A and B are shown apart, each in its own frame.
Chain A
Amino acid sequence: MKNYCYLQIIKRFLVLMTLWSFSVQAQYPVDAPKSQATLGSTTEWFRSMQSSGDLQIHGFASQAFIKTTDNDVFGNSSGDGNFGFTEIGLNALMRPLPRLQLSAQGLSRRAGEGTSATPRLDFAFADYRLFSQETKQFGIRVGRLKNPFGFYNDTRDVAFTRPSILLPQSIYFDRTRNLALSSDQVQFYGETSHLKYGTFSTQFGINRPIVDDKDTALSFVRNRPGSLSPKPTFIGRGIYESSNNRFRMALSGIWLNMAYDPAPGENLGSGSIQFTPLYLSAQYNTERWSLTSEYALRHIEYRNFNNQMLDSLHFTGESFYFQGVYRFNPKLEVLLRYDVLFSDRKDRDGKEWAAKTGAPAHSRFARDITAGMTWNVTPAFMLRAEYHRVNGTGWLSPLDNPVSASTSQHWNLFAVQASYRF
């Protein structure tokens, strides 16, 4: 299934590449008449594309050191700590026609048992601007796209776009990240702005979620033999920005559908899982301060598993955080954040869950106080350090901590990270 999906994307891309290579040739003399003599030379063409900004290559790499007490995050981090968290990405952005952009990014991420360093196609899509009139834009994107939700999901693996080494885990779970990350979709986007009232932009997509990885399977159906398959899923986000750019607000929602097929001999029905999270995000910016808060209600429903325990699983998780960033100057900033997760808002202390399943009550919530510091050594090189004091293991990966009974409720995490980009 996965291979087939990649193949589809590669095919789509090849067709597009062939198409645009013709149009580029045709357009080239108009754009840069001086170098017409060297039209045949690929390197010249490449250089001209780059100097005019029609081809951009960007990349990033970051390496973290993480040390925790008791529980493990991104590998065996308790004890002496480890260097198990690495992010490397490379992308190419091309604008062969004024209204057409082709973008692709490869990502290699190593983060404990959940994610090996195997590179994945993070996004690869064509973006066509159907309508553009000064401050009003409307267009369509087709291919593999980052899932637009919240303030940070679209660029969650690029350290420079995050406020901290770890994003607030209550909203941006690293545990089920692959599902949240990107998906094959058709997306429409639009934007309108007004000098007084500000800018409103929106994205809406129909997609096929990527569900075939072990983290997702483990999170949703524990270790029951069988497979998850994607069903049509909808995702949308609207962002409002005030005209002085001080205030940003977003509302995003996902209507995610998955089907479960039991392995032969497994005594379960072919069930379906519906995950419908709703996110509200707000941010206030001044020259020195950025105050950010996001709130999420995450509803999950299991159906037709022919299993009383599973089919009774209808619950809503609740997450929120408050975050303040203060910039002493463009080079140095500090962060303070309070991040809260409840797996089930009707069972905030996890006691009902503990009574029903025998798992520790603290596995159903997490309260994380984070203090961090960022030093932008140069525009391309950044150093970070942060400390987390956590009560609860709600967002801890079961892959890194297979025996939930032996996890500790109160634990600490310390991390440093070096990041480079170009």
Chain B
Amino acid sequence: MIKAIIRYLLQLIYFVYILGAAPSALADQEYNVIVHPDVVEKNLSVNTLRAIFGMRMQTWPDGTKIRVFVLPDEAPLHQKFSKGMLRVFPYQLRAAWDRLVFSGIGHAPISVASPEEMQEKVSSTPGAIGYLWKNNIHRGVDVLQVQR
């Protein structure tokens, strides 16, 4: 009896644990994080994504340089990505980049003017990461799964 209860409880804990840890792909969004096809990582946590777009994490685990591409601060997709995915206000991201650039301890991301340029740059730059509206994504880039 006691054994059964313990087994049940263990299973329950296991089940809850699996539920909690299961990667919940963001189904409802209209945009994706994209990377250059040579980037080995196809799966990242939001936390890692924050470190990347905060320009604090500079290399992929295999040692290659991470090259971050962003749309202008006022672009609707940038606002959406920044607030919805990274949970940071665009002005905070800009402030963080300025602190890195003007004290010399980091880099600014590379600005692109349009979704077309985003597609072109990410597909042609090794180690590149960026984001695009789903219907702007073409061959030449890989879509990255983000786990929360």
Contacts and interface: CB of A to CB of B under 8 A. Distances in A.
Q: Which of under 10, 10 to 19, 20 to 34, or 35 or more describes the interface residues of A?
A: 35 or more
A260 interface: no
A272 B47 CA distance: 47
Nearest to A59: B102
A193 B137 CA distance: 31
A161 interface: yes
B92 A285 contact: yes
Contacts of A60: 102
Nearest to B93: A245
A52 to B, nearest CB: 6
A245 B103 contact: no
B91 interface: yes
Q: Is the interface of A mostly helix, strand, loop or mixed?
A: strand
A303 interface: no
A330 B99 contact: no
Interface stretch (A2-10, A95-103, A388-396, A411-419): A95-103
B102 A330 contact: no
A154 interface: yes
B48 A101 contact: no
A132 B74 CA distance: 32
Contacts, number: 117
A244 interface: yes
A245 B58 contact: no
Contacts of A161: 95, 98-99, 102
Contacts of A93: 101, 104, 106-107
A132 B102 contact: no
A362 interface: no
Interface string B84-120: 0001111110010011011111111110000000000
Contact of A53 (B50, B67, B90, B95): B67
B107 A56 contact: yes
Given A53-B110, A95-B65, A244-B87, 9 more contacts: A91-B102, A95-B58, A98-B65, A134-B45, A134-B57, A135-B47, A193-B50, A287-B89, A379-B72
23 contacts: A30-B126, A53-B67, A53-B110, A58-B108, A91-B102, A95-B58, A98-B59, A101-B106, A105-B102, A129-B58, A134-B48, A135-B47, A135-B48, A135-B50, A137-B56, A146-B103, A154-B99, A193-B50, A195-B47, A287-B89, A330-B73, A330-B91, A379-B72
Closest 7 A/B residue pairs (Cβ): A103-B104, A154-B103, A155-B102, A195-B47, A53-B110, A158-B102, A98-B65
Interface of B: 45-48, 50-51, 56-59, 61, 63-65, 67-68, 72-74, 87-92, 95, 98-99, 101-110, 125-126
